């Protein structure tokens, strides 16, 4: 099934605006993007950075986007596709890659004590060196994935 930004906006009860539609389509092709990266991707002087931020806030609040906040990086956004995946982040180049659930079914991880909470999701971020950066830095990469050798 083909992704339709307009259909997604209607289902979420949001008004269809040019900024929202363009942001959704941009994220469909370029997940894990920051607001500034999206603004550059849109390449339109008529769409301000603030307009992109406003669209991201509305789309995230409506549940159409997932916001990820890797430590030391700007917030990144991706389409929320009703899955429960986690992320790998490169310490060097900050590339972000999706990885399936670590254990079991969503929310994938369960705390030892839920304190009465009904757990709906777990966010896990794995940090390390991507293959390209590991090739450039063999000293640090040799200690990160010893089980892979």
pTM across the whole model:
0.80
Among 67, 82, 97, give the residue marking a domain's end: 82
Q: What is the CATH number of the domain that holds 16?
A: 1.10.10.10
5 and 76 share one domain = yes
66 and 22 share one domain = yes
What pLDDT shows up at residue 112? Answer: 74
Among 82, 100, 116, give the residue marking a domain's end: 82
10 and 58 share one domain = yes
What pLDDT shows up at residue 146? Answer: 46
For residue 119, give its domain range.
Answer: 83-149
CA 8/CA 64 separation, integer angstroms: 7
Q: Is 133 annotated as a binding residue?
A: yes
10 and 46 share one domain = yes
Q: Is 101 annotated as a binding residue?
A: no
33 and 16 share one domain = yes
What pLDDT shows up at residue 147? Answer: 45
104 and 77 share one domain = no
Q: Is 93 annotated as a binding residue?
A: yes
Q: Is 108 annotated as a binding residue?
A: no
What are the 10-residue block averages of pLDDT along the chain, 149 residues in total? 87 94 94 95 86 96 94 92 84 90 64 80 86 82 49
100 and 52 share one domain = no
Q: What is the CATH number of the domain that holds 120?
A: 3.30.1490.190
Among 64, 82, 100, give the residue marking a domain's end: 82
> What is the b/e burial string over 109-126, where b = at least 16 CB atoms within 10 angstroms of the residue's CB?
beeeeeeeeeeeebebee
What pLDDT shows up at residue 72? Answer: 86
Q: What angle do CA 64, 65, 68 make, to 5 degrees?
A: 160
95 and 116 share one domain = yes
133 and 149 share one domain = yes
């Amino acid at each position: 099934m083909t992704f339709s930004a307009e259909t997604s906006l209607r289902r979420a009860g949001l008004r269809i605006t040019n900024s929202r539609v363009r942001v959704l389509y941009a994220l469909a092709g370029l997940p894990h993007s920051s607001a500034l990266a999206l603004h550059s991707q849109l390449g339109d002087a008529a769409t301000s950075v603030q307009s992109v931020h406003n669209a991201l806030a509305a789309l995230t609040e409506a549940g159409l986007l997932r916001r990820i906040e890797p430590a030391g990086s700007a917030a990144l956004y991706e389409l929320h596709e009703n899955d429960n995946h986690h992320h790998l982040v490169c310490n060097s180049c900050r590339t972000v890659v999706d990885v399936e659930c670590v254990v079991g079914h969503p929310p994938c991880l369960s705390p030892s004590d839920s304190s009465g909470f009904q757990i709906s999701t777990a966010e896990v971020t794995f940090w390390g060196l991507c293959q390209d950066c590991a090739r450039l830095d063999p000293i640090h990469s040799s200690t990160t994935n010893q089980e892979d050798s």
